[in-house]
Amino acid sequence: MAFDKTKLELLAGGGAVLSLWAYASATDTGAEIDATGYFNAAATVLKPGDWVLVNAVDARGIAVISANAGGVVDTGNLSAVG
């Protein structure tokens, strides 16, 4: 499926330093969410170093934004939790 910006929620931060986000998808897998470009529609708010708590259909974990350049957002590998 595709990223749904309405499912991305800012939990803490939002300033010049680290922000903590939550994202849940009832249709996308952890591998889909982990792919480069998945979060491109949120490129204006996500910055390198931000953490995203992810709840996918088959995985729960933490994705750290590793790059955001030219509107292309990349996360490191989803670190499993639970």
Kindly state whether residue 19 falls inside one of the protein's structural domains: yes
Residues in the chain with pLDDT values less than 50: none
Question: Could you tell me if 48 and 40 are in contact, meaning their C-beta atoms sit under 8 angstroms apart?
Answer: no
pLDDT for 78: 87
pLDDT for 81: 86
pLDDT for 1: 67
Domain span at residue 73 reads: 6-80
pLDDT for 10: 96
Tell which residue, 1, 75, 12, 13, has the closest CA to residue 39: 75
DSSP 18-82: --EEEEE-SS--HHHHHSTTTTGGGTTT--TT-EEEEE-SS-EEEEEEEEEETTEEEE-PPEE--
Kindly state whether residue 54 falls inside one of the protein's structural domains: yes
Residue owning tokens 């897998």 = 29
Kindly state whether residue 1 falls inside one of the protein's structural domains: no
Kindly state whether residue 60 falls inside one of the protein's structural domains: yes
The total domain count for the chain is 1
